[in-house]
Amino acid sequence: MAHTITLIPGDGIGPEVAHATQRVLEASGVRIDWEVQEAGAAIAEKRGTTLPDEVLASIRKNKVALKGPIGTPIGKGFKSVNVTLRQSLDLYANVRPIRSLPGIEPRFEGTDIVIVRENTEDLYAGLELMIMPGVAQSIKLITEKACTRICEYAFEYAVRMQRKRVSVVHKANIMKLSDGLLLECFRKVALRYPRIEPYEIIVDACAMNMVRNANKLDVIVTENLYGDILSDLGAGLVGGLGIVPGANIGLECAVFEAVHGSAPDIAGQGIANPTALIQSGVMMLHHLGEHTAANRIEKALLATFEGGMRTVDLGGAVGTEEFTRAVCEALGRA
Ligand code: NAI
């Protein structure tokens, strides 16, 4: 059976890594009919919107999308397309596995943690105002409903993936109400999962612990902003943004995308590392129940790294095309 999947190539290096990922997924033998949809800065010039209605309609219809990164202007301009997508489709859980890969020099051997980031509220709710000239206010919105469901997701994930511990990352010593609410929900949910060890850690201590012994944290559950920052820290532990995948999961739909952004500094040069989006594609195949193909791609990717192939961001000299070809060839042998 062919899967119909929405593909948003995105901005910057997005089309390059999306094309590479399409090739690898197709080489795995899985049949996919891609429904390509444009979103982001490029479409805004033509259509006057960064997120045309048909993009959301396509994802709602197909239930699954693979998405390249989309740029967001800093300090002014349009609201983040990524945030709008996550909020509009209620993609409440952002799952980011952070694992060392063979052949890439990690900070620590065998790093293997997962960040489960709440994806719909916190300071990302977009509630900002200038109270008066020179005084700006951003509202941190935290609800019991969102905290409970993200904690439930993290514990369910831990059970499913045979993990031992779920660590809640907070700053409830200072934000006693908002982060306090997360902590309260976490404690209630944890009682329902006696086989998973609950662990509480303040965000600053978490940052320090991540660079000393990340694995102790195992599955991290946290709010939107802390999750965003800690994911990039995690990426730094295992070799950089070029390799860390992600999934935005909702009750109805799921959008798979790398942790990295549009990397305008290297766009169009043919040197982007497609690994992060390929790995997001692997997560997507598991989500679709295509476990055999997903495992084969993962094996091929590992074999490619074991063979010493490295893109420029990882200290090598190989471009996107050569790397993608090598993964497809390894897939033929996997
Ligand atoms: P970035 O992740 O695009 O780039 C940070 C650094 O990592 C750059 O030096 C870049 O060249 C490198 N890098 C990232 N991905 C790479 C890859 N696959 N291969 C090789 N090198 C890679 O972060 P930055 O520069 O802060 O953001 C650029 C734009 O992307 C911004 O407009 C931002 O809003 C957007 N963004 C979008 C995201 C999304 O669509 N989910 C996520 C993060 C940022």
For residue 140, the model assigns a pLDDT of 97
What's the rounded Cα separation, in Å, for the pair 200 and 166?
9
For residue 106, the model assigns a pLDDT of 65
- Ligand 1 centroid to Cα of residue 95, in Å, is 18
Stretch(es) of the chain classified as CATH 3.40.718.10: 1-94+240-334, 106-238
For residue 104, the model assigns a pLDDT of 78
Residue 76's pLDDT band, with cuts at 50, 70 and 90, is confident
Assigned CATH topology for domain 1-94+240-334: Isopropylmalate Dehydrogenase (3.40.718)
Average pLDDT, the chain: 95
Atom of ligand 1 nearest to the CA of 273: 19
* Protein residue whose Cα sits closest to atom 39 of ligand 1: 69
For residue 48, the model assigns a pLDDT of 85
For residue 78, the model assigns a pLDDT of 76
Ligand 1 pocket, residues with Cβ under 6 angstroms: 13, 17, 69-72, 82, 241-242, 257, 260-266, 272-273, 276, 313
Atom of ligand 1 nearest to the CA of 277: 18
What's the rounded Cα separation, in Å, for the pair 90 and 153?
14
Residue among 241, 256, 310, 322 to mutate when testing ligand 1 (max atoms within 8 A of CB): 241
Residue 75's pLDDT band, with cuts at 50, 70 and 90, is confident
Residue among 101, 119, 256, 262 to mutate when testing ligand 1 (max atoms within 8 A of CB): 262
Contact status, residue 32 vs residue 333, Cβ threshold 8 Å = no
Q: Spell out the SS3 assignment of the chain.
A: CCEEEEEECCCCCHHHHHHHHHHHHHHCCCCEEEEECCCCHHHHHHHCCCCCHHHHHHHHHHCEEEECCCCCCCCCCCCCHHHHHHHHCCCCEEEEEEECCCCCCCCCCCCEEEEEEECCCEHHHCCEEEEECCEEEECCECCHHHHHHHHHHHHHHHHHCCCCEEEEEECCCCCCCHHHHHHHHHHHHHCCCCCCEEEEEEHHHHHHHHHHHHHHHCEEEECHHHHHHHHHHHHHHHCCHHHCCCEEECCCCEEEECCCCCCCCCCCCCCCCCHHHHHHHHHHHHHCCCHHHHHHHHHHHHHHHHCCCCEHHHCCCECHHHHHHHHHHHHHHC
Atom of ligand 1 nearest to the CA of 17: 18
* Protein residue whose Cα sits closest to atom 33 of ligand 1: 71
For residue 74, the model assigns a pLDDT of 77
pLDDT of 283 above 80 = yes
Amino acid in position 229: I
Assigned CATH topology for domain 106-238: Isopropylmalate Dehydrogenase (3.40.718)
Among 10-14, 70-74, 249-253, whose mean pLDDT is lowest? 70-74
For residue 72, the model assigns a pLDDT of 84
For residue 241, the model assigns a pLDDT of 94
Active site residues: 124, 171, 204, 228
* Protein residue whose Cα sits closest to atom 27 of ligand 1: 261
Encode pLDDT of 184-195 as tens digits.
999 999 999 999
For residue 42, the model assigns a pLDDT of 74
pLDDT of 60 above 90 = yes
- Ligand 1 centroid to Cα of residue 275, in Å, is 14
Q: Phi and psi at residue 153, in whole multiples of 5°?
A: -60, -45
Encode pLDDT of 80-117 as tens digits.
899 899 999 999 999 999 999 887 776 667 899 999 99
What's the rounded Cα separation, in Å, for the pair 25 and 111?
26
Q: Phi and psi at residue 281, in whole multiples of 5°?
A: -65, -35
Encode pLDDT of 223-258 as tens digits.
999 999 999 999 999 999 999 999 999 999 999 999
pLDDT (mean) for 67-90: 88
- Ligand 1 centroid to Cα of residue 187, in Å, is 35
